[in-house]
Chain A
């Protein structure tokens, strides 16, 4: 069966510090991978998606970036965090655009 992992579960970082959130998927090959953010009081927002290694599409211009160094690894990064980066970050995988997406447990990021 497929499993998706995210870490860390919670993170408190100062403004201006770097960020690295990791997501890994087990039990499937060549999945589509997604990063979402849920800011307080708002719906989910798609940040990045990837259809393969090294292929990243960005949905929202921001100071975040994503990378996919391996087939089942998706990383969300920032060089300098802003207060507005606080939120709940979810990684998801799916077999393709028409398929159900399965979500990881999420990372709660607080930028102080």
Chain B
């Protein structure tokens, strides 16, 4: 079964609207990462969260890790066409050392 579930799978919003993407884990998260992938390009690192309750912001994007460390949300305020792409959460897999695994991804389209 998928260990990191993202919702929604896809999102279409009007420019200027706020939106939230969720990432839920079946196990405790020890490091949660958010990436953005522009279509056909490599991944861009956005933020990393480690502590329960932690919140980080970068420009108009805010990410939070809940207290129980099993869910993270990514919130975009006043979306712009440049925010379009695929958003991926990722997590360390401590039980196997070097592995890192990704969520199912959320495709965001921003309509001008």
Contact = CB atoms under 8 A, between A and B. Distances in A.
A binds B: yes
Interface of A: 6, 32, 34, 36, 42-44, 46, 49, 51, 57, 59, 88, 90, 92, 94, 96-98, 100-106, 108
Nearest to B43: A103
21 contacts: A6-B42, A36-B102, A43-B103, A43-B104, A44-B102, A46-B99, A49-B98, A49-B99, A59-B99, A90-B43, A97-B92, A97-B94, A97-B100, A98-B92, A101-B33, A102-B45, A103-B35, A103-B43, A103-B45, A105-B41, A108-B40
Given A43-B104, A100-B33, A105-B42, 19 more contacts: A32-B98, A43-B88, A43-B103, A44-B88, A46-B99, A46-B100, A46-B101, A49-B99, A90-B43, A96-B98, A97-B92, A97-B94, A97-B97, A97-B100, A98-B92, A100-B48, A101-B33, A102-B45, A106-B42
Contacts, number: 58
Interface residues of B, number: 25
A103 B42 contact: yes
B54 to A, nearest CB: 15
A100 B32 CA distance: 10
Contacts of B92: 97-98
Interface of A is mostly: strand
B41 A106 contact: yes
Contacts of A46: 99-101
Given A43-B88, A46-B101, A59-B99, A100 B43 contact: no
